[in-house]
Amino acid sequence: MTLHEYDVVIVGAGGAGMRAALESSKRARTACLTKLYPTRSHTGAAQGGMAAALSNVEDDNAEWHTFDTIKGGDYLVDQDAAEILCKEAVQAVLDLENMGLPFNRTEGGTIDQRRFGGHTRNHGEAAVRRACYSADRTGHMILQTLYQQCIKQEVEFYNEYYVLDLILDKDPQGTPEGEEVSVAGVIAYELATGEIHTFRAKSVIFATGGAGKVFKTTSNAHTLTGDGMAIAFNAGLPLEDMEFFQFHPTGLAGLGILLSEAARGEGGILRNSEGERFMERYAPTIKDLAPRDMVARAMANEVREGRGCGPHKDYVLLDLTHLEPAHIDAKLPDITEFARTYLGVEPYTEPVPVYPTAHYAMGGIPTNVHGEVLRNNTDKVKGLYAAGECACVSVHGANRLGTNSLLDINVFGRRAGIAAAEHALETAEAAPLDETAAETLNSTVERLRSTVGTSEAESVADIRRELQATMDRNVQVFRDADSLQQAQKDVAALRERFTKIAIHDRGKRYNTDLLEAIELGFLLDLSEVVVLGALNREESRGGHYREDFPTRDDEKFMQHTMVYGGDDLRLDYKPVVVTRYQPMERKY
């Protein structure tokens, strides 16, 4: 076992992690630990754009953007955080451009902008062009640009190091409110050698991304198993608003591969089996550019009312055939290639089969606007930060607007990087971390290795498949008490079976078999939290829709869900921060 010491340790090298690393490594000795090579991170799969009221092509301002973000999030957004997000958006885009990001350009040479769901002029009057973009590979360009800057700045990466445990100096739940709890470090497993490393640090930033693999049909990478969220949760920290999961309307049918909302921003239209542009019925003003939760529900509703397409009537169609092929090639080259490669459909001439796909966790590790992690509604964990999809600030509330995630990782990744470095510089010494800190992980790894060859053991792959199937069936776009109770029962049974798994690979080197077993544990932990939050929230808001409680209930539920772990899960609430926007009915 090797011990490393740094001022700041960043976990994750996607957009949020690398944006944080650029700030932190300028100020303090920083290591960035990442389970994937940085350029493999799922930020690179983001397509459509990054929102900022640059006003390069149409009149726009940060206040309109703030309003859209809050309304889009169905009033579960912390409004102080949304104001910061939208105000700092412009500089965040300009920073990336100055770093070299190749945005698409206007004729005048400025950054071009396009329409996206839920982004409107003057509080909902009409769609506005707010998304700054680079064809349909904006996330790819952000990831590449940040990585290039990290090379320039000689950021120290530990590639293919899986952080699997978080060490705090005290039990965050056993410590009374008001008393100090500090981060001490993290424990990591090195993929290449199987060696366990202890990283002691004054500050730790979690930027570990999402958890889409709790679902079967998802736009998320195989590696998005919610590691950071589950590790924080298992270290005694709460998770916030986990029942709010975004289902992106346009996943390739049956596969879940993402087709950007930019397809509709550029003029694409959703149609049912009757050829009807059905979004006209659901959102008369902005139609296909309504926020994602509304479009996803409308699509699922068309299908269950029998207006789905295909032999099983189980998807709808995304129609781009009225767009010029040259326009498609210039603005949407990648997603049209996905349709050709994976479904054999030619988008110039044929509409593309699409259905909602699990896409984004609005919830996560609770933080304040500086990225500092909370252990209850008010107390911070000293030195611990989170940013990006794994965090819940909360700027997305009950439903994230398209292009606000690439914005989130840049604004709050930067803020967390600065805050973590400053905290480290003010701190004389990291919290003590003794040699036994790695013991928990060490024994988990040894126990799993010892299961090789066990007879009549359970299979990791079977449990994962069944988990994902029940989550898709029961916790997707439409939910009710029955479906959620079924999911709860299924997850509990799978947890029981998980104690009896056996793996195949006893080796130390590149043992991805062992890591998949550990990742499945994370998925089970998080599924339980998602389902509990969903079952308890007896209302419909944003991405969480209860058929047995189809309206929003501000009186009872305009508050964040907080779930705490331990032997039994415990539910609590946290008030929503309201500055100037009172909740109103959400119509588009």
Partner 1 sequence: MTATAEASTPAGEVPSFEVTLRIRRMNPEGTSEHGEGEEYWEEFKVQAHATDRVLDALHMVKWDQDGSLAFRRSCAHGVCGSDAMRINARNRLACKTLLKDLNPAKPIIIEPIKGLPVEKDLIVDMEPFFASYREIMPFLMTDGPAPERERLQSPEERQRFDDTTKCIMCAACTTSCPVFWTDGQYFGPQAIVGAHRFIFDSRDEGQWERLEILNDKAGVWKCRTAFNCTEACPRGIEVTKAISEVKKVLNTGEI
Query: Could you list the active site residues?
Result: 292
Strand duo 391-392 + 365-366: pairing: parallel
Strand duo 2-11 + 30-34: pairing: parallel
Q: What is the DSSP letter of 140?
A: H
Strand duo 245-252 + 50-51: pairing: unpaired
Concatenating the DSSP letter of every residue in 235-274 gives TT--EESTT-EEEEEEEETTT--B--THHHHTT-EEE-TT
Determine the Cα–Cα distance for residues 387 and 393; give it in Å rounded to an integer.
Answer: 8
Phi/psi region, residue 168 (left: phi>0; alpha: psi -120 to 50; beta: rest), is beta
Concatenating the DSSP letter of every residue in 525-552 gives HHHHHHHHHHHH--S-BTTB-BTTB-S-
Count Cβ atoms within 10 A of the Cβ of residue 482 and give its class: 0-12 exposed, 13-18 middle, 19 or more buried. Answer: exposed
Triad 352, 353, 358: Cα angle to 5°: 120
CA torsion 498-500-501-506 (nearest 10°) is 130
Q: What is the DSSP letter of 379?
A: P
Q: Are 454 and 502 in contact (CB under 8 A)?
A: yes
Q: Are 210 and 390 in contact (CB under 8 A)?
A: yes
Compute CA distances 239 → 343, 377, 390, 426, whole Å.
38, 11, 10, 28
- The pair of three-digit structure tokens given for residue 396, joined into one six-digit string: 């997305």
Q: Are 425 and 7 in contact (CB under 8 A)?
A: yes
Compute CA distances 485 → 243, 482, 488, 526, 534, whole Å.
14, 5, 5, 16, 10
Amino acid at 272: N
> Which residues 6+ apart lie within 8 Å of 284 measured at CB?
588
Q: What is the DSSP letter of 479?
A: B
- The pair of three-digit structure tokens given for residue 343, joined into one six-digit string: 């479904």
Determine the Cα–Cα distance for residues 369 and 84; give it in Å rounded to an integer.
Answer: 8
Determine the Cα–Cα distance for residues 356 and 297; give it in Å rounded to an integer.
Answer: 8
Compute CA distances 96 → 19, 63, 91, 516, 538, whole Å.
10, 22, 9, 35, 42
Q: Is 560 helix (H, G, I), strand (E, B) or coil?
A: strand
**Helix extents (H) in 192-238:** 227-234
